[in-house]
Structure 1
Amino acid sequence: MLEAGEPKFRRRKAERPAEIVRAAMAVFAEKGFAAAKLDEIAARAGVSKGALYLYFETKEDLFRAVVGQVVAPNLAQVRGIAAAHPGPFPDLVRGLVAHVVSVVETTPVGGVVKMVIGEARNFPELARVWHDDLVSQALGAVAAAIEAAQVRGEVKAGDPRIFALQLISPLLLTVVWRETFVPIGAPPFEPAAVMAQHLDTLLAGMLTESA
């Protein structure tokens, strides 16, 4: 950690990797992976292309950094919320969803999701990283919370992973709609409103009578 009063240029140098990663996330969200240029990412971060190469050799390295440094910490928070709140299940689910909706509405992650979906066939490593480091872990954390609620008698019998997929899917579709169709004039759906109505419907089917 840098000491207070340390020369400004040294603090600036220490901040560069994070600035580059944030710039990369913005460019990926706007342009996609194939069209994203390292020159543009460097310019967006306020560094030279040579300086960018001091920290990241390829666009793949930058994508991994975006996943690991920007998106994954939000996943860690989701897992922390689930671990610290064993019940009641509806409160836990609404808290988890509120956190994820906040991330979707305040970061460019939606554009990155669209990029991964659209370019996965040509760049399968993007999909692999996104799945292994994020999707599978998020789905696993939610499924584990659902399974625990089933053990407590709050949630009906059923495959926890399928329940988890049912829970998450409408938000994913809302993000894809926003990134794909809203730019050409389609009316938007607000993620918070979509998920509030979805949870009212889904929980009515998932919860046991005692819950």
Structure 2
Amino acid sequence: MPVKNFDSDAQSCVHAKHERRKDARPGELLAAALELFVEKGFAATRVEEVAKLAGVSKGTLFIYFASKEELFKAVVRENISGRFEEWNAEFENFQGSSADMLRYCLTAWWEHIGSTKASGITKLMMSEARNFPELATFYEHEVIQPGHALIGRVLQRGVDRGEFRAIDMKYGVYIVLAPMLFLAMWKHSLGACCDAGAQLVPEDYIALQAETILNGLSIRQTPPPLSQKNTAS
């Protein structure tokens, strides 16, 4: 009867556990970095703190990310810009009206980005962009440009289908972005400090903003002049 090599099995288990831990490290580092960047800002966050929060050494962090700037870029890609492919695919496959699509965009943004720590990246960039122009340029290319393009596609879909009136798309995009930016700023600033009575219900706020925007975009039947109404009666 063969003798089972328990020492060999134990070593295999330890090795497998080590490999699983090694594979998880980039994700753990990104999660720790996101938390600290949002809490403290980019300038005030030190890589030693990120490594400590992730449970690894500073040297281990630099195995995966060459600098704090590269770590920040990876955080943005992991939480925001890496999702544009998925969001554009949703646009292509959406079956409802353009009004429904716009409502979905706003509510889905809140569920997947706005209500999470990732929305703090927006506040961080708005407050620190001038001090870190390279990161500002990166954010412009990775987040702002594709974000504007996607919102523009939603609005243009409505115009092309005769559901929305024609508008200046450059500024139309900002009309849609405005409530999203406000919520992101609110969540990570005054919203964290206000009394309960002054707090917003994000879902209600987004619903009202969506209907307000759609009220301005939607094409309506032009009512007949008053003289025609009197003649008809």
TM-score, normalised with respect to structure 2: 0.82
Which residue matches 2:175? 166
1:185, 1:95 → 2: CA distance?
A: 28
Percent identity, please. Answer: 30
SS of the equivalent of 1:120 reads: helix
Out of 169, 183, 206, which is 1:195 matched to?
A: 206
Q: Which moved more, 1:131-140 or 1:179-188?
A: 179-188
Mapping 1:116-131, distance limit 5 Å: 116-131=125-140
1:121, 1:127 → 2: CA distance?
A: 7
CA displacement at 1:105 relative to structure 2? 4.5
- The answer as to whether partners of 1:174 and 1:191 remain within 8 angstroms in 2 is yes
RMSD (Å) for aligned C-alpha atoms = 1.8
1:183, 1:156 → 2: CA distance?
A: 38
Which residue matches 2:107? 98
Out of 173, 183, 188, which is 1:179 matched to?
A: 188
Tell me whether 1:46 sits opposite 2:51 in the alignment. no
2:176, 2:161 → 1: CA distance?
A: 19
CA displacement at 1:27 relative to structure 2? 0.7
CA displacement at 1:13 relative to structure 2? 0.4
Which residue matches 1:64? 73
SS of the equivalent of 1:121 reads: helix
One-letter amino acid matched to 2:43: A
Consecutive unaligned residues in structure 2, runs of 5 or more: 1-12, 222-233
CA displacement at 1:184 relative to structure 2? 3.8
**Structure whose CA Rg is larger:** 2
Consecutive unaligned residues in structure 1, runs of 5 or more: none
Out of 201, 214, 219, which is 1:208 matched to?
A: 219
- The answer as to whether partners of 2:106 and 2:180 remain within 8 angstroms in 1 is no
